[in-house]
């Protein structure tokens, strides 16, 4: 009778546990990697929250300044546009 997937999985798990018992440094490296990934994920999440709040505050300030300027005043600000670079060595 052939063993099922559960029995095969149990054999693999038992082999992994036995290997980790004989090499404790491997277990320590796995634990440290899990902690490192968790810390990076947490730091990235906090940085994302801080950056989002910063841009929201900047947007609010820009909107406030635009409201203070009023819509009747004309501005000479021209948004930058992408243009082809001018090559000085080409004479076309």
Q: Average pLDDT, stretch 23-36? A: 91
Are 24 and 30 in contact, with CB atoms under 8 Å apart? no
pLDDT (0 to 100) of residue 75: 60
DSSP string, the chain: ----HHHHHHHHHHHHHHHHHH-HHHHHHHHHHHHHHHHHHHHHHHHHHHHHHHHHHHHHHHHHHHHHH-SSS----------PPPPTT---
Report the C-alpha gap between 19 and 71 in whole angstroms: 73
pLDDT (0 to 100) of residue 71: 58
- Residue 72 pLDDT exceeds 60: no
Task: Delimit the domains of the chain by residue range.
Answer: 19-56
Q: Average pLDDT, stretch 63-79? A: 72
CB within 8 Å of 26: residues ≥ 6 apart: 19, 20
Share of the chain above pLDDT 90, in %: 32
Q: What is the pLDDT of residues 11-22, one digit of tens each?
A: 888 888 888 888
- Residue 90 pLDDT exceeds 60: no
**pLDDT band (50, 70, 90) for residue 4:** confident
């Amino acid at each position: 009778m052939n063993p099922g997937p559960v029995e095969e999985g149990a054999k693999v798990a038992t082999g992994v546990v036995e290997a980790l018992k004989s090499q404790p440094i491997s277990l320590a490296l796995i634990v440290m990697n899990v902690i490192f990934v968790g810390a990076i994920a947490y730091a990235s999440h906090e940085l994302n929250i801080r950056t989002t709040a910063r841009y929201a505050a900047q947007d609010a300030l820009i909107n406030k300044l635009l409201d203070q300027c009023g819509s009747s005043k004309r501005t000479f600000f021209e948004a930058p546009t992408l243009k082809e670079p001018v090559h000085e060595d080409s004479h076309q």
